[in-house]
Structure 1
Amino acid sequence: MHFILVSHGDLAKSILESAQMIIGEQENVSAFGLYPTDDIGGLKDKIEVAIEKVKDQEIICFTDLFSGSPFNAVVGLMEQYPISHITGMNLPMILEALMLRMNEENTKEAICAKLIEQAPETFIDVNDYLEKNL
């Protein structure tokens, strides 16, 4: 299973670094940031390259803000790729997701459901939201 963290600025990279400081080096995790000189198309392209490299794995994308540009970049890829997308990313969420991933029996759907169960007012399951609101 591969996790992709996407945020404004360095947040995704910093969350990943902090998580690794707490639970050790992690494989199969990518982190991307959108910076003031970037455009959403470029960010989307970078994420797509990462997805293409691991498209044989289950993929969960985590974004920082509902309806922000990183969120929209990931949503733009959801029609092309069978990714799960959770927004409202923070350090406790990523720590929990990484620990849940250690149990190979957990599917991406099971991990997303557990994260949403733990903090329903903070996290949004984007797949579920889009299904109910489109």
Structure 2
Amino acid sequence: MRKIILASHHNLAVGMKDTLEYIMPTVGEVTTIAAYTTNTPVNEEIDAALADVSEADEAIIFTDLMGGSVNQNFTKYLAQPNIHLIAGMNLPVIMSCLLPLGDAAIDPEQLRGAIQEGQQQVVYVNDYLAEQTMDEDDE
């Protein structure tokens, strides 16, 4: 079994899931944790989300902030095999990681490449368009 978890401070994860399922309707089951929106401590929400993940399963977890409490509370699970934690979630990174998934367990190198590909989608568009205009003028 593969479990996909989007976790964030407040409702970012909920909105990300909604948009992800709109663009990729066959993505599968996605669990969200919107930390600090209820009286449940974040570590208890995480424990509940990972309770059914055995050593034979894998979990791909996306969090909002590397140094944030949500991400930090997931790190205690990294000693388990097949737990993959990715901080700094954004839609291109999530899609790059999930699009090529098949039924086989994910290869960490595949995740690294997908993260790098997704990071390339973070662009200062002002500069990008200025470079495109300069290239057109050069021709």
Superposition deviation, residue 11 in structure 1? 0.7
Q: Confirm whether residue 94 of structure 1 aligns to residue 91 of structure 2.
A: no
> RCO greater where, 1 or 2, for CA within 8 Å and sep 6 or more?
1
Instruction: State the structure with more CA Rg.
Output: 2
Match of 1:114 in 2: 113
Please list every run of 5 or more consecutive structure 2 residues that lacks an aligned counterpart in the other structure. Answer: 123-139
Kept in 2: contact 1:64–1:87 (CA 8 A) = yes
Please list every run of 5 or more consecutive structure 1 residues that lacks an aligned counterpart in the other structure. Answer: 123-134
Report 1:1-134 matches (<5 A): 1-35=2-36, 38=39, 42-55=41-54, 56-79=56-79, 81-82=80-81, 83-101=83-101, 103-105=102-104, 107-118=106-117, 119=119
Kept in 1: contact 2:93–2:115 (CA 8 A) = no
Identity %: 27
**How many residues end up aligned between the 2 structures?**
117
| TM-score of the aligned structures, taking structure 2 as reference length | 0.71
Q: In 1, Cα distance between the equivalents of 2:16 and 2:31?
A: 11
Kept in 2: contact 1:11–1:33 (CA 8 A) = yes
